[in-house]
């Protein structure tokens, strides 16, 4: 790993979701006072422009006000982003070969699955994010054949207790 | 980075072809 840090990079449409909204998720999913000191696993946000840097510093200051210990989360300029090995990609989707196979038929080159929004969203649902209503509203946009769509809904029902819509 | 898929089929998921007008990148690490 060298001096790399494990990170997630998100391409987003600021007309749909703002960077500030993403920062709410970022700050909400960590303990900002707890850093294990290792470069590989550290809390950090990497800014891509001045506006992101400013928002990061503002929100870090807001977070710090409510904490007794200092914030150890890093705010750093974005550098080169290197994709992790394939076995790290779409981790939850990998647990369901039938669904991964369906994407493989659409995208024989796995690199395209890595960058596919459809695959990312299915991976997210399988990891327990999103809502039943949200999935049902967009499942047709994932390009999956009907059998795979049924499988996805079945898995969500079994794993998370989602019942079919009445 | 906009997604430019290569596929042997024409059934690219609609959500993958609906590229936004503007795009921004965010990068986060969770320790």
User: Are B16 and A7 in contact (CB < 8 Å)?
Assistant: no
Residues A145 and A94 in one domain: yes
- pLDDT of A40 reads 82
Average pLDDT over residues B1-21: 71
- Give me B24's structure tokens: 């921004």
User: What residue numbers bound the domain in which A55 lies?
Assistant: 19-77
Residues A98 and A70 in one domain: no
- pLDDT of B1 reads 45
* Structural domains in chain A (count): 2
Among the partner-chain residues B13, B20, B31, the one whose CB lies closest to the CB of A143 is: B13
In this prediction the pTM is: 0.83
- Rounded Cα gap, residues A118 and A141, in angstroms: 7
- Among candidate residues A86, A127, A93, the one with its CA nearest the CA of residue A109: A86
- pLDDT of B2 reads 53
- Which residues fall within 8 angstroms of residue A74, CB to CB, at 6 or more apart? A35, A42, A43, A44, A45
Res. B6 pLDDT band, cuts 50 70 90 = low
Min distance A58 CA to chain B CA atoms (Å): 16
* Residue numbers of chain A with a pLDDT score lower than 50: 166
- Give me A20's structure tokens: 């500030």
Q: Is residue A107 part of a domain?
A: yes
Given the cut 0.90, state whether the ipTM is greater than it. no
Res. B4 pLDDT band, cuts 50 70 90 = low
- pLDDT of A166 reads 43
CA A64 to chain centre: 25
The Cβ of residue A122 has, within 10 Å, a number of other Cβ atoms equal to 28
Give which of A14, A139, A146 to mutate to test B binding, by max B Cβ within 10 Å: A14
Average pLDDT of chain B is: 77
What CATH number has the domain bearing residue A155? Answer: 3.30.1060.10
Residues A155 and A92 in one domain: yes
Q: Is residue A4 part of a domain?
A: no
A75: three-class secondary structure by DSSP: strand
Residues A102 and A155 in one domain: yes
Min distance B27 CA to chain A CA atoms (Å): 4
- Rounded Cα gap, residues A32 and A71, in angstroms: 5
- Among candidate residues B29, B31, B28, the one with its CA nearest the CA of residue A19: B28
């Amino acid at each position: 790993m060298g001096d790399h840090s494990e990170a997630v990079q998100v391409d987003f449409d600021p007309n749909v979701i703002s960077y500030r909204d993403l920062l709410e998720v970022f700050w909400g999913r960590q303990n900002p006072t707890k850093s294990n000191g290792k470069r590989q696993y550290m809390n950090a946000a990497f800014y891509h422009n001045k506006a992101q840097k400013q928002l990061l510093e503002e929100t870090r200051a807001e977070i710090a006000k409510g904490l007794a210990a200092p914030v150890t989360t890093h705010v750093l300029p974005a550098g080169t982003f290197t994709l992790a090995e394939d076995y790290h990609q779409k981790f939850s989707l990998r647990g369901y070969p039938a669904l991964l196979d369906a994407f493989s038929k659409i995208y024989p080159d796995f690199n395209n699955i890595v960058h596919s929004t459809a695959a990312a969203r299915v991976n997210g649902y399988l990891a327990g994010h999103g809502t039943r209503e949200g999935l049902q509203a967009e499942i047709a946009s994932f390009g999956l054949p009907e059998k795979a769509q049924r499988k996805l809904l079945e898995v969500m029902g079994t794993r998370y207790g989602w019942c079919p819509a009445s | 980075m906009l997604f430019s898929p290569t596929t042997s089929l024409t059934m690219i998921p609609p959500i993958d072809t609906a590229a936004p007008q503007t795009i921004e990148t965010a990068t986060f690490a969770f320790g």
